[in-house]
């Protein structure tokens, strides 16, 4: 009975302060509390995890065994997963105990019932430590791009899932990110041409953006020490996952919360996502965003127009992989 295997297995592992240690702890590359301030998640925000559960119901997913979230961070997906969990157990994990404490505190603040929840320290690379065929769900949001060997991860995920179990992940995609990097390079020339040349500090911010996109996309450099390692190609994920018994569907430019948003939105427009990426992921300030709006935003309109009736170039998206054997 797969649902009964994990609770006693977890109970035998070392634990401290209510956290179970499947892996040794590893801190995040940025201060966890500061990360929580940069990407604030209100304890009442249950939409992402609730959207995931609704999505899983529409594809008739199996809920008989436990669910595992890898890389919970500050709980953006975890809170709704705990709130709406149809699983016998939801294991919320991260390599960083600090992130687990932040997420657990938010679950307490939201008065969520945690009787079927376990908080565990776990690295994606060590997923194989779990017994085979014991999970109905493995979910990651913006976490798989931190794992160096994606194929080894897909192999392990397939091993620990039950037949019919789901591996779900939302990750950045190569084509849209390279497009952002290519376009942002033109900002200094466009601004200079309009009579407002960028300062050396502003030029560095543009270079950092473009170089980050190139680094994430590259496959010919050692990324073992880098925090962000990959951008994903849908075709590659499909072929690689299939090698390990996982059937993949993909929805581009949507997030896990998509099924609970009212009214159902169209896939996110490239211009909006590009702007948000500059503002929040590259931490551009007001003056940089004003330059973006004057010189880059007008150039993105063609891409929105060309994306009419479809998702356009993928900046990210949701991969749903079902274990078929």
Ligand X SMILES: C[S@@+](CC[C@H](N)C(=O)[O-])C[C@H]1O[C@@H](n2cnc3c(N)ncnc32)[C@H](O)[C@@H]1O
Sites for ligand X among residues 18-47 (CB under 6 A): 28
Contact 68, 139 (CB under 8 A): yes
Contact 247, 61 (CB under 8 A): no
Residue number with CB closer to ligand X (44 or 163): 44
Stretch that binds ligand X, among 120-128, 190-198, 287-295, 311-319 (CB under 6 A): 120-128
Stretch that binds ligand X, among 143-151, 194-202, 269-277, 288-296 (CB under 6 A): 143-151
Distance of alpha carbon 3 from alpha carbon 63, whole angstroms: 10
Contact 293, 272 (CB under 8 A): no
Stretch that binds ligand X, among 7-15, 50-58, 135-143, 281-289 (CB under 6 A): 135-143
Residue number with CB closer to ligand X (28 or 186): 28
Residue number with CB closer to ligand X (95 or 313): 95
Smallest distance, ligand X to C-beta of residue 256, A: 9
Residue number with CB closer to ligand X (139 or 198): 139
Bridge partners for 319 per DSSP: 169, 250
Q: CB neighbours of 313 closer than 8 A, spacing ≥ 6?
A: 175, 176, 179, 270, 303, 307
Sites for ligand X among residues 158-217 (CB under 6 A): none
Smallest distance, ligand X to C-beta of residue 144, A: 8
Alpha helices in the chain (DSSP H): 2-11, 32-38, 47-58, 78-84, 97-109, 150-160, 174-184, 187-193, 200-217, 234-243, 270-276, 286-291, 297-306
Distance of alpha carbon 260 from alpha carbon 264, whole angstroms: 8
DSSP annotation of 87 reads: S
Stretch that binds ligand X, among 14-22, 137-145, 242-250, 264-272 (CB under 6 A): 137-145
Sites for ligand X among residues 230-259 (CB under 6 A): none
- Residue 136: name the closest of 68, 85, 194 by CA: 68
Residue number with CB closer to ligand X (167 or 183): 167
Smallest distance, ligand X to C-beta of residue 293, A: 26
Residue number with CB closer to ligand X (143 or 156): 143
Out of 143, 255, 271, 300, point to the residue binding ligand X (CB under 6 A): 143
Q: Taking CB under 6 A as the rule, which mask of x and - marks residues 61-100 in contact with ligand X?
A: ---------xxxxx-xx----------------xxx--x-
Residues written for the chain: 325
DSSP annotation of 323 reads: E
Does position 124 interact with ligand X (CB under 6 A)? The reply is yes
SS3 110: coil
SS3 163: strand
Q: Token pair of 80, please?
A: 């709704």
Task: Work out the angle between the directed axes of helices 150-160 and 234-243 (0-180°, nearest 10).
Answer: 50
Out of 47, 104, 106, 123, point to the residue binding ligand X (CB under 6 A): 123
Out of 141, 230, 275, 322, point to the residue binding ligand X (CB under 6 A): 141
Out of 100, 102, 142, 184, point to the residue binding ligand X (CB under 6 A): 142
Count of chain residues binding ligand X (CB under 6 A): 20
Smallest distance, ligand X to C-beta of residue 271, A: 23
Q: Which residues bind ligand X (CB under 6 A)?
A: 28, 70-74, 76-77, 94-96, 99, 123-125, 141-143, 146-147
């Amino acid at each position: 009975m797969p649902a009964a295997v994990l609770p006693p297995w977890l109970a035998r592992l070392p634990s401290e302060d209510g956290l179970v240690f499947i892996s040794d702890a590893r801190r995040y590359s940025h201060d966890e509390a500061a990360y929580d301030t940069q990407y604030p998640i209100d304890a009442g925000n249950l939409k992402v995890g609730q959207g995931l559960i609704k999505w899983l119901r529409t594809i008739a997913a199996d809920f008989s065994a436990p669910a595992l979230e890898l890389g919970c961070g500050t709980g953006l997906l975890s809170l709704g997963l705990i709130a709406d969990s149809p699983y016998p157990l939801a294991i919320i994990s991260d390599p960083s105990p600090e992130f687990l404490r932040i997420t657990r505190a938010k679950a307490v603040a939201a008065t969520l019932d945690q009787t079927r929840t376990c908080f565990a320290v776990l690295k994606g690379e060590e997923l194989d430590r779990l017994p085979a065929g014991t999970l109905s769900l493995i979910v990651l949001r913006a976490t798989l791009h931190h794992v160096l060997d994606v194929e080894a991860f897909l192999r392990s995920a397939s091993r620990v899932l039950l037949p019919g179990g789901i591996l779900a992940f939302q990750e950045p995609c190569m084509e849209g990110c390279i497009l952002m990097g290519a376009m942002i390079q033109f900002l200094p020339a466009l601004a200079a041409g309009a009579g407002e040349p960028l300062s050396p500090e502003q030029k560095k911010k543009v270079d950092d953006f473009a170089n980050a996109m190139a680094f994430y996309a590259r496959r010919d450099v050692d990324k073992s020490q880098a925090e962000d390692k990959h951008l994903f190609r849908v075709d590659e994920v499909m072929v690689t996952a299939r090698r390990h018994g996982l059937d993949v569907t993909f929805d581009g430019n949507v997030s896990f919360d998509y099924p609970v948003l009212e009214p159902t939105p169209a896939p996110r427009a490239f211009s909006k996502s590009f702007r948000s990426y500059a503002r929040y992921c590259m931490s551009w300030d007001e003056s940089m965003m004003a330059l973006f709006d004057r010189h880059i935003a007008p150039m993105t309109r063609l891409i929105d127009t060309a994306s009419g009736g479809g998702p356009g170039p993928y900046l990210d998206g949701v991969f749903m992989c079902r274990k078929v054997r």
